[in-house]
Amino acid sequence: MIVGLTGGIGSGKTAASDAFAARGITVVDADVIARGLLAPGTPLSQHVIAHFGQSIAAAAGVIDRAALRQRVFNDPEARQWLESQTHPRVREAILQALQDSRSAYTLLASPLLIESGQDKLVDRIIVVDVPEALQRSRTIQRDGNTQAQVDRIMASQCDRATRLAKADDVIDNQGNLNQLEAQVEQLHQHYLQARSA
């Protein structure tokens, strides 16, 4: 069984996926895969730097993720080009990681689970949900982005209502870490039971 986990920026997807991983569940994280593909010296990172120029390079062969994010979220054509280069490679790596997983069920964590069509790879969808105002404040505090930048990122993701309509399960992450852990544990037990039924 493959369970998809998604949520808007700043919703707490990583905290939730970490809690599943702590229970022995394999987490296939689309963001981690994308970062690996863009790691210094990889063919893709060199291709991206060659395309966008040294303005997105923090050092020789190292992509300045903040500069790249600013560039692509201010320029729809730049974002489209970057996605055309990264999404097929990310999908290929995801498929391989899902195939290699040996845990009781597998979690596919992806901020663009629904937008990218990755939802078709999963049996259930968990949405980590918080109000949009909390998404904004958490992301500004965590990443040092401006509100305008966060709003552009949020606009590039499907809206909260669309995500919730696709959800089989919802983790309400307005509270503290203990409350998040309790919800993860409940879902974990539910998936284990569904797996053995």
Pairing of strands 62-63, 169-172: unpaired
| 13 annotated ligand binder | yes
- Reading the block at residue 109, the tokens are 């964590």
| 12 annotated ligand binder | yes
| 11 annotated ligand binder | yes
Closest CA to 85 of 37, 53, 119, 154: 37
| 6 annotated ligand binder | no
| 196 annotated ligand binder | no
Per the annotation, binding residues for ATP are 10-15
Per the annotation, binding residues are 10-15
